[in-house]
Amino acid sequence: MRSGRFWLMAIAALATALITLRLGFWQLSRASEKQALHVAIEGRALLPALNNLSLTGMNAAGDLLHRRVSLHGRWLDRYTVFLDNRQMAARQGFFVVTPLQLDGSNQVVLVQRGWVPRNFNDRAALPVLPTIDGPVDVDGLIAPSPAKLYDVGAQSTGNIRQNLELAGYAQETGLPLAPFSVQQAGPDGDGLARDWTPVNTGVEKHYGYAFQWFALSALIVFLFVWFQIVRRFAPRR
């Protein structure tokens, strides 16, 4: 009876140890994938900047993400959106998003221009942005849509919003938006802060998970050996 229980415990411990070990190696493989992605992102940032002509007719973001751009166009200020509850340097405020009409093209690119503080005495008050009637040069990186925050209810359509989704915004405004946005870089001379958070692929997270799974696998083996072998067969004093 005891022998049968011993082998049952042995099989259960071995199976659990192997499963946790396999999960640890899977997390290492995920870390390798994320590391490769991080290297690719850094490599794209070193490539020559794309200009208006390079982006004309682009129908998919694909390998353009995180490429540098140097664009020339005009702000479509009446379509500016203020994304609420956004932080920069641990301060609460808005991300300012404005479409840029590219010169020499019908294409419009949505630009994440920067961050401004909000008026907490009047939450409906909009920040005053500098007016630029003429052409502007915009340097930055190609980026996905602005990160989404948890939102309850239907998508809002006013100047102040929680989130903005490219396809829906293009349909709402009728603008021929590119399938990506641009995160503007450069100095804060126009009153907008641009201390953007660097892209984090989460490599460290997967290494941490792998360590936890390996540690759990080692603990299972140790506990089985200690309680089922050492404590059982060691001579008692």
Higher local confidence (pLDDT), 137 or 237? 137
Asked if residues 228 and 6 have their Cβ atoms less than 8 Å apart, the reply is yes
Is the pTM higher than 0.85? The answer reads: no
What local confidence, expressed as pLDDT, does residue 132 receive?
77
Q: Is 18 helix (H, G, I), strand (E, B) or coil?
A: helix
Residue 124 φ/ψ, nearest 5 degrees = -90, -5
Tokens of 19: 């499963």
Tokens of 18: 């192997």
Q: Where are the domains of the chain?
A: 2-41+202-233, 67-184
For 194-198, the CB contacts below 8 A with 24+ separation are 194/114, 194/115, 195/88, 195/89, 195/115, 196/88
Q: pLDDT above 70 covers what percent of the chain? A: 90
Higher local confidence (pLDDT), 56 or 202? 202
Mean pLDDT is lowest, of 61-65, 158-162, 203-207, for 61-65
Whose tokens are 């903005």? That residue is: 164
Higher local confidence (pLDDT), 130 or 116? 116
Residue 77 scores a pLDDT above 80: yes
What local confidence, expressed as pLDDT, does residue 144 receive?
83
Nearest to 131 by CA among 76, 181, 195: 76
What local confidence, expressed as pLDDT, does residue 57 receive?
65
What local confidence, expressed as pLDDT, does residue 28 receive?
94
